[in-house]
Chains A and B, each alone.
Chain A
Amino acid sequence: KNQVEQSPQSLIILEGKNCTLQCNYTVSPFSNLRWYKQDTGRGPVSLTIMTFSENTKSNGRYTATLDADTKQSSLHITASQLSDSASYICVVSSQTGANNLFFGTGTRLTVIP
């Protein structure tokens, strides 16, 4: 069964600290893995997209890693800011086309001053 599991479910950190969010998947075949940020009441916004051959990709203070052998990905946030408070969603594509996406339930991150 194609699944995407994220951990932790929720996380609270102090402003300025780093954190790492985890994603494990069983989706097969594999096309790409995406991380999205979703603010409350808004739609998801793309942070990174990684294909099978990429094992790390950065977008500002966000760095995603991918281990296609173990089917694991992580999203590392550096020097967190209050505006980083959001849900972070891991999405795995089984083949080309956005109609073949499997969404995790997200990690709810809260950054406190």
Chain B
Amino acid sequence: KAGVTQTPRYLIKTRGQQVTLSCSPISGHRSVSWYQQTPGQGLQFLFEYFSETQRNKGNFPGRFSGRQFSNSRSEMNVSTLELGDSALYLCASSLEATGSGANVLTFGAGSRLTVL
């Protein structure tokens, strides 16, 4: 079966612009999480969506936002880009089991954003 698909894989933006990244989860997976990966900070949790509702949010400014559609596909948006937003943005999906913390995350290959 198809894995988690993230588009675009690479993109270059300039400061002040905005960007939208897309994530298509594994078929049947209803939970989608987003992470920012940078060499110095490791993996930082952005937010998680389940059935179109944001369940958890990390410590990022309001410039970072996301949404999930009825087919579980998710998008994240970063407005007013800053140089420090340059990173690999990873999306992960999981098969949600109510009350279980044992879900395995399946990651996409990521979208590498460079802000000039």
Q: Do A and B come from one complex?
A: no
